[in-house]
Amino acid sequence: MIALRGVRGLRVEDVAAEAGVSKTLIYYHFRDRAGLVTSALDYVNDRAESYADVAAVGGAPVRELLLSLLATEFQDDTTVRENSAVWGEVRAAATFEDGLRPTLASLTERWLVDVAELIADGQDDGSIPPTVDSRAAAVRLTSLVEGLSGRWLAGLLGTAEARAHVAAALERELAGSPQG
């Protein structure tokens, strides 16, 4: 429902009706509206990790796994698009709802650390130069993915184009740092 209508339009009674349960049951499980949104974000995040795992199978150099991982965010697939919409919504809503920030901060940090660790792994297997600052590159790459996602969801950018930009940015970030 967040993917369809956004966080701000989300009403507990509509979620209850969609699930075919009482409002009381929703409140019993999720405590309040913020708990419901947080759980939705956790769910979406777990679901995204499951398709990211699939992308990461095989003995390819870490650099290629990293590209697969970031490119999985752009797929002509309802689930992927829904996940992206929910994330985008919660990010935008966090500007106005302080209650969403702790969850957003911890999930963003988890993603950042995953990407930074993959870059460090690539430095170990020799597919990524040792001069790359893994944390800083991870911040820029994930922020770029978030920026591209917004345009992709709004129909300003096609799937293939978004993926090509991710590949090009990765190429530039992992070329070895121009100035440390």
Restricting to residues 37-56, name those near a copy of itself by CB under 8 A. Answer: none
By CB under 8 A, residue 73 contacts a copy of itself: no
By CB under 8 A, residue 1 contacts a copy of itself: no
Total residues in contact with a copy of itself, by rule CB under 8 A: 44
Residue whose CB is less far from a copy of itself, 21 or 85: 85
Query: How far apart (Å, rounded) are the C-alpha atoms in residues 87 and 104?
Result: 9
By CB under 8 A, residue 179 contacts a copy of itself: yes
Residue whose CB is less far from a copy of itself, 65 or 144: 144
Residue whose CB is less far from a copy of itself, 25 or 126: 126
The distance of closest approach from Cβ of residue 20 to a copy of itself in the complex, given in angstroms and rounded to an integer, is: 24
Tokens for 54? 């699939």
Query: How far apart (Å, rounded) are the C-alpha atoms in residues 97 and 83?
Result: 20
Restricting to residues 130-159, name those near a copy of itself by CB under 8 A. Answer: 136, 139-140, 142-148, 150-151, 153-157
**In the set 41, 48, 67, 93, which binds a copy of itself (CB under 8 A)?**
93
Nearest to 84 by CA among 3, 18, 25, 177: 3
Residue whose CB is less far from a copy of itself, 8 or 31: 8
SS3 annotation, the chain: CHHHHCCCCCCHHHHHHHHCCCHHHHHHHHCCHHHHHHHHHHHHHHHHHHHHHHHCCCCCCHHHHHHHHHHCCCCCCHHHHHHHHHHHHHHHHCCCCHHHHHHHHHHHHHHHHHHHHHHHHHHHHCCCCCCCCHHHHHHHHHHHHHHHHHHHHCCCCCHHHHHHHHHHHHHHHCCCCCCC
**In the set 23, 101, 121, 159, which binds a copy of itself (CB under 8 A)?**
101
Residues forming contacts to a copy of itself in the complex (CB under 8 A) are 4-6, 8-9, 85, 88-89, 91-96, 101, 104-105, 108, 136, 139-140, 142-148, 150-151, 153-157, 165, 168-169, 171-173, 175, 178-179
